[in-house]
Structure formats: C-alpha cells, structure tokens
Structure 1
Amino acid sequence: MTRREGAVLLVWWVLSALATHSVVRYRWWIVAGYLLVTAALGALALSARDDRGAAAAPAAGVRAAAAVLGLVALTHLLLVPFSYLGAAGLGAVRAALAAAALLAGALLLVPRARAAVLPVALAGAGTAAVLVVRGDPAPRIDVWVILQQAADGLLRGESMYVQRWSGSPGITDAFAYLPWTAVLTAPGRWLAGDVRWALAVLVAVAALCTAALGRWRAPALAAAALLLLAPGSSTLVEQAWTEPTVLAGLAGWALLVHRGGTGAWWAVVPLAVALAAKQHVVLLLPLLAVWPRFGLRRAAVAVGGAGLLVAPWALGAPHAFVHDTVRTMLELPPLRFADTLYTAVLNETGVRLPFALVGALVLGVLVAAVVALRRRPVGLAGLLTWCAAVLMVVNVLNKQAFYNQFWLVGALLLLAVAAGAGARSGLSPAAPPRPARTAPRARPPRPARPPAGPPAPSSPSAG
C-alpha cells in the first residue's frame, strides 16, 4: 500500500465516523468535517496518475491498513450508531464488528494468515446483519416498508409506480427509485421474508469484487474487510438503505474493466444495472465516457442497456414513473437534520439556496472533473477517486443526504485502494535489482579442417 492509499484510507475513516455520528442529528461541525473531506478528496483526485505497472508498495503500507482496521474497531466501541435495537442487542452488534475488525487487522500482519482476513470480515458483518434484522423485524422507516411491499407487488405482476404503501411512516404514494432497486432487493423478501437480507448479500458481493479487483493482495483484502466492517454499517442494513444495489454494480464494473479486453465490454452489464437502480449514477457517466479505457461507446451501450432494463416499468405507466422518479425527488423538502451545506445555510441563516445555484455548482464540478480527466490520464484507482469526489460534492450540496449517500462515497474510495493494488506489479521497489545476465563466453574458433582429397575411384561393382 502506498502513502497515497494510506491517505485515502484515513480520509475514508474520517468520513465514515462523521457519517455514523450524523444519524439523525444536525451539527455544524459535522458539515465542516464533510467540507474538509471534500477538499481532501479533491486533492487526492487531482494528484492521481496512471499507476499501471507501478512497483509493489512496501510492507509499511500493510501495517497502515491494519492500523485503520484498528481505528475502525475503536470507532465501533466508542461511537454509538443509530438503531432501534435495545442496549443489549446494539452492544452485541458493536462488539461483533469491533472484534472482527481487530482480528482482521491482526491477520493482515501475518502473511500466511491473510487468507483468513476476508472470511473473518464476512463472519463479523454476517453476525451483525443477523442481529439487526432479527432484533428489529419492522424498522420504523419508509424505505423498508416500500421495498417490502414492492417485492410483494412484483410477485403479483404489479408495478411499484402504481402501488400505495400502507403503514409507511414517510412516503406513501411514490417509489422514488429506479425499478432495479426493487428487483435486486426482492429476493431477500421472497426467500427469507426481508429485503434486508438481499442488501447484506449485495454488500458481501461488492466486498468480494473489491478483493478480486486488487488480485487478493493485502491492500485489497484490507479494503474489502473495511467495506464489510465500516462504522455505521449495521445502521445501513437495519434501515434498508439501498446504496448496496448501486455499489454491487459499480464494483462489478470496476472488476471487469480492470481485466481489460472483452471484459471492458462485459462491464457495461453491471454498469447498466447500477444505472437502472438509482438516478444519481448518471452523474458518473461523463467521467467514465472520457476515460480512455472505457470510453464513450461503452458508456452509450450501458445507457442503452439501462434503458432496456427500465423500459417495462417506464412504458407501462409513464406518468406515474416520471412522477415518482423525477418530480418526487425534486420536490422533496429539505430536512433540517441532514448534515449538508444546504441545510447548514438553512439552519443557521434561514435562507434556502436556489435550485439554479446548486445545479450550477454541481455542473461546474462535473465539468471540471471531465476536463481534468481529459488532460491528465489516470488509472482505474484515480478514476474511482474522481467518482467519489464528484458524489461527495453532490451530497454536500444536496437538500437531503444521510449516512447511506456518504457510505457510497467511502465505498468508492475502498474500490480505488483495491484498484491501485491490482494495477501494481509484483516487484517491490525495495528489492535489489537483479544482476544482468552476462553473455556466455565465446568459444575459440575451431581450426579449419584440411581440404578433402580427390575422391577414391569407385570399384566396378559399386556402379
């Protein structure tokens, strides 16, 4: 792991801790922390380069990754995440995640034991998921109610855009996501009674893609473990927040692009799924389109694929589809306990930032990112860092942004760390160069043979 990747992991940890503490409370200093993280991400993105073929990082980087796992364990013990569980249940969740993070960090330091890092992290995350789903079988949040009833509607052949949600504590008349959020989470309801099982599985799939992206090397194993054991991850599963549907697609895209060749074309499939799950993924398309290793044609095919995936619902009830996925999202009121720059200005001054101003700022950042990527080639790790920085700006300027949106930014940073590990060669920069092979000694020339004499006369019988 390089010094740069150590800085990425440190920024990820700060972001995760802030986001965990932000649920559900507004604090001006959390917004200030987010702004500092945004600035740090901008600096990391601007310093990115094409790292294909770079030498492997020194062993000190592995110790840094293990130290971040230790910080995560400490965060679980000291920072209480939002939950509807009782004190005993939540304590068990925190203890399971902290113990898994500590053990994963220790195993990372032992080369022969690193193969156990990911199983330990999966076990810790799985234990936490079981505790929160069983301990809170009916969370008081509209997202869970909507996804559960949308899954039931899919079995009956109903469109989620014409359904109404009974018992929802929030939205009751709209499915504000794109349809593949429901499609990807429905198997959890169908097979095990709760969509949250599917969300937990999607996080695990993303973690496996992260480790494979980094060729199962130590930094990639650490990144995958951090994704599974992130501070606040139990809240993500308990509240049925839907960002894992996007991350699984983006992680699959990154893995296939990393393999290159025909894999880059196959990468349009998971990208299309991510685009068909949530609207804001479209903000990343300009970055992917100008990146030479993916390009405009593949981005266009992914858009076309997403259109085909969405078409049955968009064409089946076009008015309801536009109402739910566009108008509902634009008309959502600002929530004063969201820790964004928008709500900070609103809470501190009473002024609502104009939509045109917010849109212009987001567009300006997106254009600047595209220009930077065109002028300076970067590797996959750099591209993922740019994607994280753009989404971070969007979150900070939004009317509503909570742990789940910031979790996705952090997950992209972990993918970037894994991509950096996967791009490096196996030669350590600290290893002495191999001695050049010397040419073999030339043998002395053989003495020339004397010229052959006249041929012997043939006997009459030889004719």
Structure 2
Amino acid sequence: MWLSRERGPVVLLGAVLVAFLAVTHLSFDLNAVLALAALVVVLLAFLPGGGVPRWAISVAGVLSLVALLLKPPVENVVTTPWLSVGIAVGAVTAVVVAVLPWLPARWWWVGLIVLAAGYALVILGGRPLIDVWVILRDSAGGLLRGLNPYEMHFPDVPAGQTDNCFNYLPATFLLTAPAQWLFGDVRWLETGYLLGACALLGWHTRRWPLALLVGVLPGTLYVVQQSWTEPLLLLGLVAGYVLIERGHANWAIVPVALALATKQHLVVLVPLLAFWPRFGWRRVLATFGAAAVVCLPWVIVDPGRFRACTADFYLLTPLQDRSVSAYQLIPAPLGTLVVVAVLMLAYWLVVRSRTGFLLGAGVVLAAFDLVNKQTFLNQWVFAAELVVAGLVVISTTPVGDTRDRRPGVKVEIRRRGGESVPCEPDSDISP
C-alpha cells in the first residue's frame, strides 16, 4: 500500500498541520480539537516514520508560509515598525526552506542566516503582553538582588494573568536570566536555544532543509515573541540525542536534566528515556538526580511556596475553557483515567514501533496535549518541533539513529551524491 511506504511524508505533514491548527486556533474550538485528535491518531498510526523526500519538505514550507500569512504574530504585543519587517523576513524564510531541498547543499547557511534575522526582528518588534515574559524578566532582576523567584509577586503582569507565582521549575529562570542581564530581554537567549537546536540537527545530519524547517513551523515565531520557554526544552532534548549518537552518553544527562528541571510536564517522557536503549534506566535515575539538584536550593528555602507554585498551581487550578484540548469534553470523574490511558497507549505504540526518541517524544507529547487540562499553542508547536526533529535524525543521519535495529533487518547503504547513507531497506532517502 502506498501509504505504508510513505510514512515519513505523512508524519511530517501531520506534524506541520498540528502546528498549523494550533496557531490558527489560540482558544478552544471544537472542530479544531477534533481535527487535532485525528492528526494525533495519524501520527501514532504511521510510526516509526521514515525518510522524507524533497517534495514533502517543500509542501511543509508552503504550509508554514500560509499559516504565517493567515495568523501573523501581531496579537498580545505592543508593536514597533520592526515587527512587520520581521514577519516579512519570516515569510521569506519559509520560502527559502521550501526551495532549499532543490538547491545544492552548500546553500544551507542562507537559510540559517535568514531564520536568525527573522527572529531578531520579531523580538525588536515589540514587547509581549503576557505573564511569562514579565515573570522571567522580574525573576532575573530578583536573582541579582538575592530574592527567591518563588516568593516574588509580579505587579506588571497584565490584568487577569498569573501575577502571584513563578509557576515553572528553576532551570527556566536560570537559563534565561543571563539574556535579561546582558541584553535586556530574555527572548534573546530563547531565540538562541531554538536556533541552536536547528543548527545542531543540521550539523549532526547534514539534512539542513528539514533541520531548518523545525525553526519555521507554524507558530514558532509567535512562541518566541511571547517568551514561551519551549526552545529551552527543544535544545535540551536535541543536545542529549546528539551527544548520545556521538558516543558521549553520560554527558547527555546534563542537557536532558536541565530540560526536566525547566517544565513539569516533561516528566511524561521519562518512560521513553528508560526504554531508549542508548540511554537506559541508570541514566534516567542520574538525570532525575541532576534535575533534583537544580531544584533543591529553592525547595530547601521555602518548600511550601515551591510546591504551591510548581505543583498545586497546575493540579488545583480550575479547568480553563480556553484550553485547546479534549479534556473539557471528558466527564470529570474520568479525566485522570483518560489521561493515563492515552499515555499508556502512546508509550506502547512508540516502544512497539521502535521509533527514535525525538520522534517518539513528540508523538507522546501530542497525545498528552490532546487530553491535558491546560494545552495551548506553545505545547502543540513544541510537540510538532520534536516530531520534525525526529524525522531529521531518522532519515539520513550518517551516525545512526536512536532505534535498535530489528533482528534480521539488513541495513542497506545507498549512495547519493557520493555520500554513503545508512537506511532501512524501504526508506525513501532524499538528496
């Protein structure tokens, strides 16, 4: 069957459409949630992905361009004239990524430069009217004054948003504060983390068009503009993957632990780490320990406040009817049971299909987002980024991928342009 041979393009375009729907539906919409549910089913059904041909990357770039034109990042921000220029450069970047697969490989640097320019201009384009930007900014200042971010209040937060709690884990302010101290805006480092993830994927695999697509997916400009912290998570997981692939598995504990010490919901990826043969449960324990060490000083200083801001805030806060998820459609007594059941199914399908870690992580997070109590644009886009990153490394990486080879499956070497590329016998390798 044609679809069974074209898993890579289906998974890629499914991930792009997930981000497309998320950025064009910032609040709950039943039709959008049903469409997202269908896409999550598609992603699970077409594991473990596969090679991605050039035409699929071009289509993904065009979809990203359409999403940017339909929903430019002009909401929830005090704008300057630079914003329009940044959006225009972002549109050019999407076109460059769509064309890049058909150009000689040496032109990858053009895409990276244009990508960086677009993000820089969007940051210069105005300050966001959102709580996360204010609490990161003020927490950076509080650290210099010896204050505990978990004991701070944030009076400059726009009305109706969270102003009485720093509701992320400590690595969030530790990894963004230097940008506030040096450049006056935490978003400069967040942009650096996103660009770093794209560059690391491109350097590791030489698959630059697909690697750069991670940075132009629908909603990525808006995520950075609004100061959401998913770029930290993306770089942490990508860096951990690359370190393991290049023979430095123990060092991979550091970036993965920092990712776990940034946002609480990444704990749902721990079972995948344990089942990932090149990571293993011993490194999972070490990673948990390292993440705990990052959090420990603030737990010791004020355990009650730390728990209230990082756990109770999410567990006890009433359901937000804006959440772009199916949680509010689930009968209240069954909410937790459904979340656990969906996660168990996703784990089973990912492990059974021997999917690579990055791709598997993206699919598991997409399944979790679908039934989570609070899911918004940034979570959906992050899941899509991980899926695309997983396709980068699964399709043509010369070092190998994260999967254990199935017993009896022969690894073929196909040559394109004089370069040897390891692949499964049914892979579709694009030049």
Shorter-chain TM-score category?
Answer: 0.7 to 0.9
Partners of 2:244 and 2:353 in 1: how far apart?
16
Partners of 1:272 and 1:33 in 2: how far apart?
33
After superposition, residues 131-146 of structure 1 pair within 5 angstroms as 131-137=121-127, 139-146=128-135
Partners of 2:154 and 2:316 in 1: how far apart?
19
Partners of 2:348 and 2:218 in 1: how far apart?
34
TM-superposed CA distance for 1:36, in Å, is 1.0
Partners of 1:77 and 1:377 in 2: how far apart?
37
- Partner residue, 2:195: 204
Partners of 1:150 and 1:7 in 2: how far apart?
42
TM-superposed CA distance for 1:17, in Å, is 0.9
Q: Which residue, 325, 345, 364 being the options, matches 2:341?
A: 364
After superposition, residues 53-132 of structure 1 pair within 5 angstroms as 61-83=53-75, 84=77, 90-111=83-104, 114-117=105-108, 119-132=109-122
After superposition, residues 271-310 of structure 1 pair within 5 angstroms as 271-310=256-295
Check whether the contact 1:290–1:373 (CA below 8 A) recurs between aligned residues.
no
- Partner residue, 2:404: none
Structure 2 runs not aligned, ≥5 long: 402-410, 418-431
TM-superposed CA distance for 1:182, in Å, is 0.5
TM-superposed CA distance for 1:89, in Å, is 5.3
Check whether the contact 2:44–2:346 (CA below 8 A) recurs between aligned residues.
no
Check whether the contact 1:100–1:120 (CA below 8 A) recurs between aligned residues.
no
SS for the counterpart of 1:77 is helix
SS for the counterpart of 2:214 is helix
Q: Deviations over 1:281-322 (max 9, x none)?
A: 111001110222211111111111111111111112111111
- Partner residue, 2:211: 224
Partners of 1:391 and 1:39 in 2: how far apart?
13
- Partner residue, 2:406: none
Partners of 2:196 and 2:118 in 1: how far apart?
16
Q: Deviations over 1:309-358 (max 9, x none)?
A: 11111112111111110001112232222221124x3xxxxxx742x522
Identity %: 32
TM-superposed CA distance for 1:414, in Å, is 1.3
Structure 1 residue 14 corresponds to structure 2 residue 14: no
After superposition, residues 446-457 of structure 1 pair within 5 angstroms as none
Distance 1:405-1:28 versus aligned 2 partners, 3 A rule: same
2:339 maps to amino acid: V
SS for the counterpart of 2:166 is coil
Check whether the contact 2:89–2:117 (CA below 8 A) recurs between aligned residues.
yes
TM-superposed CA distance for 1:98, in Å, is 1.6
Partners of 2:145 and 2:99 in 1: how far apart?
49
SS for the counterpart of 1:266 is coil
Partners of 2:73 and 2:343 in 1: how far apart?
32
Aligned length: 398
- Partner residue, 1:251: 238
TM-superposed CA distance for 1:399, in Å, is 2.4
Structure 1 residue 384 corresponds to structure 2 residue 365: no
Distance 1:143-1:298 versus aligned 2 partners, 3 A rule: same
Partners of 2:202 and 2:70 in 1: how far apart?
28
1:125 maps to amino acid: L
Structure 1 runs not aligned, ≥5 long: 52-56, 346-351, 432-463
Partners of 1:372 and 1:66 in 2: how far apart?
29
- Partner residue, 2:42: 40
Partners of 1:141 and 1:244 in 2: how far apart?
17
SS for the counterpart of 1:161 is helix
Structure 1 residue 193 corresponds to structure 2 residue 178: no
Partners of 2:217 and 2:348 in 1: how far apart?
33
SS for the counterpart of 1:428 is strand
Alpha-carbon RMSD? 2.5
Check whether the contact 1:124–1:229 (CA below 8 A) recurs between aligned residues.
no
Check whether the contact 1:254–1:267 (CA below 8 A) recurs between aligned residues.
yes
1:336 maps to amino acid: D
SS for the counterpart of 1:247 is helix
Q: Which residue, 161, 164, 167 being the options, matches 2:150?
A: 161
Check whether the contact 2:23–2:218 (CA below 8 A) recurs between aligned residues.
yes
TM-superposed CA distance for 1:87, in Å, is 9.8
